[in-house]
Copies of this chain bind each other. A is one copy, B any other.
Amino acid sequence: MMTLTEENYLKALHRLSQTEEAITVKRIALQLGIKMPTVTSMVKNLAGKKFIRYEKYKAIQLTEKGRRQALLILRKHRLTELFLKDVMGLGWEEVHDIAEQIEHIQSDRFFNRIDEMLGHPKFDPHGEPIPDADGKLPFFKAFPLSGCEAGKKYKLTGVLDHDASFLTYLNTLGLTLGSTIEVMTLHGFDRSMEVLLNGKVRTVFSFTICQHLLVI
């Protein structure tokens, strides 16, 4: 009943709702790589179906129905990613693009079976929380490495950039979820940091990289 396009809008809406800024037509257009008038018309469509609240020129909000629907799609995406990695042996850098397609498959049986095979997992290969069948998210706390202190040791629990190039770079450093990251030195001028990975590999992370690594 929902088209693939509508599902992708809901995912984008949900993602945008997780930041402080208001959800605007501009941000949706940027997120999806389409033009603003296209967004305006789809936003009217989604409002008609009660997935969002929308008034001309005002900020857009997901309704409870919309949020729920978005979380169910995220559930399918993240379960798929973990399945591709843990059952099918693909790397964390190659699962996202396939999951972007499989998340639109309509079959409770298929995804419930994946969930069972994986033992009802709580986190995907990038450390993202997997909503349960009711759309409830597991509790989790983690913060970006960019806010960490020198001299302390952290554990990698998630990545915020799913790009294959970024994750492949982490692979070359032997960095996976669970790896330790010790912050050796903090450079104020560009906010880069010298780090020791898994007690073995020494390198420098730019601020951008640090923003994309979640640790506890």
Contact = CB atoms under 8 A, between A and B. Distances in A.
A113 B101 contact: no
A152 interface: no
Contacts of A88: 110, 113-114, 117
Interface residues of A, number: 18
A114 B89 CA distance: 10
A162 to B, nearest CB: 16
A190 to B, nearest CB: 37
Nearest to A110: B98
A102 B107 CA distance: 11
Contact of A98 (B87, B98, B107): B107
Copies in the complex: 2
Contacts of A106: 101
Contact of A105 (B98, B107, B117): B98
B109 A105 contact: no
Contacts of A98: 105, 107, 109-110
Contacts of A114: 88
A97 interface: yes
Nearest to A109: B94
A90 interface: yes
Nearest to A89: B113
Nearest to A4: B4
A26 B25 CA distance: 46
Interface of A: 84, 87-90, 94, 97-98, 101-102, 105-107, 109-110, 113-114, 117
6 contacts: A89-B113, A90-B113, A94-B109, A98-B109, A101-B106, A102-B102
